[in-house]
Amino acid sequence: TVSSSWSTIPHYMVTVAIDMGKADALARSFKSAGTKVSINDMIIKAAATALERYPLMNASFADKNIVMHRDANIAVAIGLDEGVVMPVIRTCQNLSLEEIGARSRELVGLAKEGKLGKEEMAGGTFAISNMGMLGVESFIAIVPPSQSAILAVGMVKDEAVVRDGAIQIARMMRITVSADHRVHDGAYAAKFLGEVRSILEAPESLQG
């Protein structure tokens, strides 16, 4: 359970801010072309790509051992009236943005209909919780059982930033990873988040 995770997993947290201007523009171009790809789908794909470079973030801790996982099976938090469920999008590293978007919408539909089964709920290796649509700027999530990290995603909003000595308005988003200190440390998580940030700030690579 979540409460047991908080009491048994030695948590640590790392936060980064990301300029989502290009990702926002890409999402709008998808929408105008009639392609159903959301910002959240891009975040899932960016995380899956970064997990390939930093595989410990995709590992788990069991029986005093670190267990590595080949596939990025990403559990995505879906809020329902009765609580939060976290169905799994499997092998995200092999899926296109469009495929991730389609699978995400399918899981949301099953969740709302109360039709999620064990197959959809089991086997997550990394988790993402996005509360941006609720107006949340940043938050801390609890690492789910059997995983070692969860990414908490805040809203994308206009912020004043300083670039080359001038104040500009940028579309900024904050993400916070909560992670299991038995599996990795803050420096490793910071590098992972840096990779996610690099991908989302130059999102053209996500279309490959």
Dist CA 4 CA 106 (whole Å): 30
- Check if 181 is active-site: yes
Say if 82 falls within a structural domain: yes
Say if 205 falls within a structural domain: no
- Residue 2: pLDDT band (50, 70, 90) is low
pLDDT at 3: 64
**Considering 11, 69, 181, 184, which one is annotated as catalytic?**
181
Taking alpha carbons only, the member of 25, 51, 15 closest to residue 201 is 25
**CB atoms < 10 A from the CB of 94, how many?**
10
Structural domain of residue 142, as residue ranges? Answer: 2-200
Residue bearing tokens 């989302």: 200
Say if 207 falls within a structural domain: no
Say if 206 falls within a structural domain: no
pLDDT at 108: 96
Say if 208 falls within a structural domain: no
Q: Which two tokens stand for residue 16?
A: 């980064």
Give the number of domains in the chain: 1
What angle do the packed helices 97-112 and 39-53 form, to 10 degrees? 120
Whether residue 208 is predicted with pLDDT greater than 70 in this model: the reply is: no
Q: What are 11-68's pLDDT values in tens digits?
A: 999 999 999 999 999 999 999 999 999 999 999 999 999 999 999 999 999 999 999 9
Q: What are 59-112's pLDDT values in tens digits?
A: 999 999 999 999 999 999 999 988 999 999 999 999 999 999 999 999 999 999
- DSSP of the chain: -HHHHHHHS-EEEEEEEEE-HHHHHHHHHHHHTT----HHHHHHHHHHHHHHHSGGGG-EEETTEEE--SS--EEE-EEETTEEE--EETTGGG--HHHHHHHHHHHHHHHHTT---HHHHS--SEEEEE-GGGT------PPPTT-SEEEEE---EEEEEEETTEEEEEEEEEEEEEEETTT--HHHHHHHHHHHHHHHHSGGGGG-
Say if 111 falls within a structural domain: yes
Say if 64 falls within a structural domain: yes
Q: What are 115-170's pLDDT values in tens digits?
A: 999 999 999 999 999 999 999 999 999 999 899 999 999 999 999 999 999 999 99
Q: How far is CA 141 from CA 14, 77, 152, 160, in A?
A: 11, 11, 6, 27
Question: Tell me, what CATH number does 150's domain have?
Answer: 3.30.559.10
Say if 48 falls within a structural domain: yes
Taking alpha carbons only, the member of 171, 197, 146 closest to residue 16 is 197
